[in-house]
Amino acid sequence: MLRSLYLVYWCIASLLPLVVFCDAYQHDRLAVALEKRQENASAPLSFGSSWQVLATWGADPLEYVGGFRSLHYDPSALFRSSLPANGSAKWNISEASQTSQSSEAANATLSISHSNVNWDFLKIVYGWAAVQYQSWARGTLTVTGDQVQHVILYTDAVLEFWVDDTHYFGGDFFTFRNAPPVLHLAPGDHQIDLRLVRDVRAFGGILAPTIDVIIHAERVKGSLELVKPGILVSDVVGGRLASPVGSIVLRNSGEQAVEVIGIQPSHTQSPSNDSLGIVIAAGQTRPVAFNVSLPSANVSSLSYFITYKTEGEDGSSTLETTQNLTTTSIYEPHKITYLHPAGMASYTMLRPPAGNISCASENDSGLPVLLGLHGAGLEADNDQVSHALDSVPDLCAWVMFPTGVTPWSGDDWHNWGFADVEAAVNSISTWIDFVGWHGPGVNTERWIVSGHSNGGQGTWYALTHRPDKVLAAAPVSGYASIQKYVPYELWQPADPRRTAVVSASLNSYRHEMLMPNARGIPIQQQHGEIDDNVPAYNSRLLSQQLYLSGTNSSYNEVPGQNHWWETVMTTPQLVDFYYTQTKSNASLPRKLDEFEMVVGDPGDMGSKGGLRVLSLEDPGQYGRVHVKGHTITTSNVLSLEFDPIVLGTQSLTVDGSNVALGKDTAESSGGSSITIHKQNNEWHSLSQQSTNEDIVRSGRQLGAMTAILRSQGPFTIQHQDSNGTTSIALQVSRNLYQYFHADAFIQSAAASRKTNSTTGNLITIVLNSTLSEGVHPDFPITPSPGVISIRDGRGGKHAYGNSGAPSIGAAFLRPLEDERLELVIWGSNEDGLRQAARMVPMVTGVGQPDFVVLGAEARWKGVDGALALGFLDRQWEVTASSFLS
């Protein structure tokens, strides 16, 4: 029972609205370790057990006085703060609830609370926003003996931290323990400052508003290591692996780069010396995918050797890893591995149609895919997820439980997580060939989508973003949008023009605005009446919005039930829905006489009724298309693609004028789909359009800054071979792996000029200098030493910073060829660079537009400290909706 309570507690998804701008949180506290050293030769690492705590408030208001790191413990100091009694906060001392040390590891558990805040009253007025606060805590990590210790530091539930004078942005907020930083610590005391952020989605909105964190240091050997023992492999079905994709995760805990030369089965005699070209920077963690196969039938485990070379050393070394195999019936939910578009391995649980099944409606095109999207904090191979539909074994469908890459589904099943769902669905065809399946076929274009909690939210995402593929959907106990879940009420005050830009960056994820997209799709909603984790308000609101936009759903609110219960996915209503909808012979895409489509980000959006929006006039505003028969009216839409067969016509009226879609047009567009563009307020078909396609923003480049996540292949992170930029590059790589399991190759800009073989997106880290020439000949954002200039949509120039100015940081997208993107992280100095690096997407709900310029004041003012922020249009020009101070 405890176990399932624990799971329920994590079943929501969390986002940190304010991480980046540091402003949603209202409370800081510090802890200073006392000089209470535990000398112990057998335990070289130890944490002090006493922590001193100060509470103060605001975004990170301590930045106004130079940052927590510059403050010293002073029991009489008062800090102005908006939450505690008397409007002031003080240092406080908190004992770690537990400390532990052994010869290999040390840790401290903190549970921080504040008795001088009336949380219950604040919650009455501000709701859960009131318990979304931040604190700082300071402690000591002591290294005894006379040896430098190589250490990894796990920072569970911590947002950011400092170790002595080194800043780490990207603690392990969701306790993934994927990519801890590697430290090389000299003997003596090391000051640890932790920035703690209370997140309602991760910590709960109902429980006491404490912040509970664990900091755990562990000795490592200072060379290449496996992050976890074993290999990610598929299960064995019918005597063979269900897929040939395997993956290991390696961490270089040494101080020199390491190159992985080969990965071979242990039973082969000669280790190969081919270079795999996989370089792992000092301190970096990288996933490595490779082909696996069974040496013979009936083996119960696999062993592989990893051969590697350390830079500056002769010879090579090896590591061995062994993985026990799971053998199961082909009809049971089992693990299959495949590659995510960004190049690393992921897995999904697949339950093929039952052996004895008879599906009357099965046509040539195969059975549909029934997706079950899991809640936050759960692995798809957890029985609670993969066996949720065991009581309905005979569905006429391919039942699939994807991961979305991580327990938090990457970014809550949005850009990164949804790309994983699509890769998982497409892997079924590969599986069919690979295992020699002779049962019913699959139609990977027909989905029935369901999911619980964060997965219920993911179901809404699928419904509103892939309407032409969704046969039916059953969103259960999901949230409508981050903003409706935990309001941003207590963010630092900011100019509404600035907050409007940040808010518009989240347009694609505000499901309550996208309900028209669901028209025509059968929907079975379900929510527990007394859900205190994701309030039923979310489902009630969406059911009402569906009705108000002329569509409908069956809404089932289960009396007396909370967030999760044993049969939450198999209530009689849901079971009936699964049986009915898996047998549906509705043809897709649906032909609808009248419908509306609302588009936040065309890069995220599939077609509806055979019609797709390819680009918006202003990406900072929703685009809308209303279709009635052959008459289309649009708002804020710049180009449209449609399937004339679905629309059943060769001519259309678009915004009042006739657009002929002659045979020529169809032919010149090279297939059945036709593209039309709006130019000078008139719509033309593609062939009449003359633009330089190279510099037109399209496809995977569309969307706000999260578009960088649509990488085809691993990311490349480029630095300038300087201390300031290499450490930021490593940090960005660590966050990408920690939060997305993403792979990144770190290299210096100088080295990159010699190789350009990568297919993935690029993140460039630049300190106080100009950028190398981009693909766009006249890009509107141009950094130079000390200053960044932006050309607005009317040609006006805006310059930020000057040689005497305090730090400036900027993050912005630039185009690369082949629909690739570059994310530039620029700073006039190291502080500005660190500030800009926070913009790299990490958790959902933050809201990063296409470009942001941050002044030094952003550290305590948050969004209001942004000097410029906004969007780039189809020509990569700054839109009128942008804010330029």
Residues binding ligand NAG (CB under 6 A): 38, 40, 42-43, 53, 55, 78, 86, 88, 92, 94, 100-102, 105-107, 112-116, 214, 216, 273, 301, 324, 721-723, 755-757, 768, 785-786, 803, 828-829
CB of 299 to ligand NAG, least distance (A): 11
Contact between residue 459 and residue 13 where contact means Cβ atoms under 8 Å apart:
no
Q: How far is the CB of 672 from ligand NAG (least distance, A)?
A: 31
Judged by beta carbon, residue 358 or residue 756, the one nearer ligand NAG is: 756
Kindly tell me which of 444 and 761 has the beta carbon lying closer to ligand NAG.
761
Instruction: Provide the minimum distance between the beta carbon of 184 and ligand NAG in the complex, in angstroms, as a whole number.
Output: 13
Report whether 256 contacts 311 (CB < 8 A).
yes
In the bound state with ligand NAG, the residue whose beta carbon lies nearer, of 665 and 807, is 807
Q: Residue 746 in 3-state DSSP? A: strand
Choose between 664 and 721: whose C-beta lies nearer to ligand NAG. 721
Q: Say if residues 553 and 543 touch (Cβ distance below 8 Å).
A: yes
* CA–CA dist 486, 483 (Å, integer): 6
What is the spatial distance between Cα 689 and Cα 686, in angstroms, rounded to a whole number?
5
Peptide bond into 589 cis (omega under 30): yes
Closest contact distance (angstroms) between CB of 43 and ligand NAG is 4
Nearer to ligand NAG, 327 or 363 (CB): 327
530 close to 561: Cβ distance less than 8 angstroms: yes
**Residue 115 or 356 with smaller CB distance to ligand NAG:** 115
CB of 38 to ligand NAG, least distance (A): 6
Provide, rounded to whole angstroms, the least separation between the CB of residue 769 and ligand NAG: 7
Tokens 């930045």, residue? 63
Contact 157, 134 (CB under 8 A): no
CB neighbours of residue 393 within 10 Å: 14
Nearer to ligand NAG, 113 or 875 (CB): 113
CB 375 within 8 A of CB 12: yes
Q: How far is the CB of 755 from ligand NAG (least distance, A)?
A: 6
- The encoded tokens of residue 542 equal 């969406």
Q: Which helix (H) or strand (E) holds 599?
A: strand 594-599
CB atoms under 10 Å from CB of 364, counted, come to 6
Q: Least distance (Å) from ligand NAG to the CB of residue 380?
A: 20
Nearer to ligand NAG, 124 or 299 (CB): 299
Partners of residue 168 on adjacent β-strands: 161
Give the full edge-to-edge strand order of the sheet including 285-291: 224-226, 245-252, 285-291
- Least Å distance, CB 114 to ligand NAG, is 4
Partners of residue 800 on adjacent β-strands: 788
- Give the whole-angstrom CA distance, residue 483 versus residue 318: 49
Task: Pick the closer one to ligand NAG by CB: 88 or 503.
Answer: 88
Which helix (H) or strand (E) is 6 found in, with range? helix 2-9
Residue 705 sits at φ, ψ, to 5 deg, of -60, -25
- C-alpha separations of 627 from 287, 517, 619, 731 in Å: 46, 12, 21, 47
Closer of 512 and 857 to ligand NAG (Cβ): 857
CB of 301 to ligand NAG, least distance (A): 6
* Shorter beta-carbon distance to ligand NAG: residue 299 or 586: 299
Maximum C-alpha span of the chain: 85
Task: Please name the amino acid found at residue 701.
Answer: Q
Find the radius of gyration of the CA atoms of the chain: 27
Taking CA atoms, 359 is separated from 30, 108, 356, in Å, by 63, 57, 10
The identity of residue 281, as a single letter, is A
Q: Which of 76, 696, 170, 200 is nearest to 484 (CA)?
A: 200
Quote the least distance from Cβ 29 to ligand NAG, whole Å: 7
Nearer to ligand NAG by C-beta: 146 or 274? 274
Q: Give least dist CB 80 to ligand NAG, A.
A: 7
